[in-house]
A and B are shown apart, each in its own frame.
Chain A
Amino acid sequence: MFTPLPDSLAGHGVTWPISLDLPRLRDLVCHHARQAGLSPQRAGDLALAANEAVTNVLDHAGGRGWVRIWADDGFLNVEVVDLAGRLAPGARLDEPPQAGPRGYGLWVMRSLCDEFAITQQSGSSQVRLRMRRPTARRS
């Protein structure tokens, strides 16, 4: 079962349904991150964060959702949409958790990415991970 993208999201970037093939996910994110000019370290960090976001969906939400990745002028963006909508905004993210697998996941997404946001709308939830692209300013 694959739910089509909302019109507002279709049309740019690369989108694929969430699957158990996490190594491929990490490879894809890394590839796009490098293409967008991110360093190997930051590309790896983004892949690790995306891995956690997708794991959340697989582990807690039954695995229905999609990943979208696209670059704009300032940022490389990764969006992970969970169609079960379990991930709630406002989870405590300001300090590392004592234990619990998913707690570390949220913490690491927040720590590794330049911007991290969870939003919920009409039963689905969405994690947005953003990495600032190096500016190619010339004097």
Chain B
Amino acid sequence: MDDPEEMVCVVSMSVDGRAWIVQVHGFMDFRHAALLREQVDAVLRGAHVPVLIVDLSTVAFCDSSGLSALVYALRRCRNASTHLILTGVRGTQERWMTITGLSRIFDRRPNVTDALPAAAG
């Protein structure tokens, strides 16, 4: 991460194979939010994914484009019958969720460890 305002997505799969985890690091803003959409598309493109966890605990800043990417992920997951869980929502993401009322729509858990039992269900 040479650019301190970069955004990086790390994609992994849970041990039991039921959940995919996308960890977002850095700046989820208008320059980088498309990357999250691409990762979500890539994960959902293959075989059915029961659970997708998007971990935001290391996001430094989120603007409306970042929020929009999360809404995009929710729509894609609903179409694919995938359960979307957001973890580590805090800071500006939390503020966005509160202002827009989207906090009621997203399934949120404190961290990935808390989200994985839901994935196992």
Q: Do A and B bind each other?
A: yes
Tell me whether B61 and A23 are in contact (CB under 8 A).
Answer: yes
Among the 9-residue stretches B17-25, B47-55, B66-74, the one with 4 or more Cβ atoms under 8 Å from chain A is: B66-74
**Residues of B in contact, count (CB < 8 Å):** 20
Tell me whether B65 and A101 are in contact (CB under 8 A).
Answer: yes
A23-B5, A102-B64 given; A108·B99 CB < 8 A: yes
Which of A22, A23, A105 touches B64 (beta carbons < 8 Å)?
A105
* A-B CB contacts (within 8 Å), total count: 54
A61 CB within 8 Å of chain B: no
B33 CB within 8 Å of chain A: yes
Tell me whether B95 and A104 are in contact (CB under 8 A).
Answer: no
B66 closest partner in A (C-beta): A101
A99-B75, A104-B100 given; A55·B61 CB < 8 A: no
A96 closest partner in B (C-beta): B100
Q: Give residues of chain A (75-124) contacting chain B, Cβ–Cβ below 8 Å.
A: 96, 99-105, 107-108, 111-112
B101 CB within 8 Å of chain A: yes
List, in ascending order, chain A residues with CB within 8 A of B30's CB. 55, 58-59, 101
Chain A contacts to B: CB under 8 angstroms: 20, 22-23, 26, 44-45, 48, 51-52, 55, 58-59, 96, 99-105, 107-108, 111-112
Chain B contacts to A: CB under 8 angstroms: 5, 29-31, 33, 61, 63-65, 67-68, 71-72, 75, 92, 95-96, 99-101
CB-based closest 5 A-B pairs: A104-B64, A101-B68, A105-B64, A101-B65, A111-B99
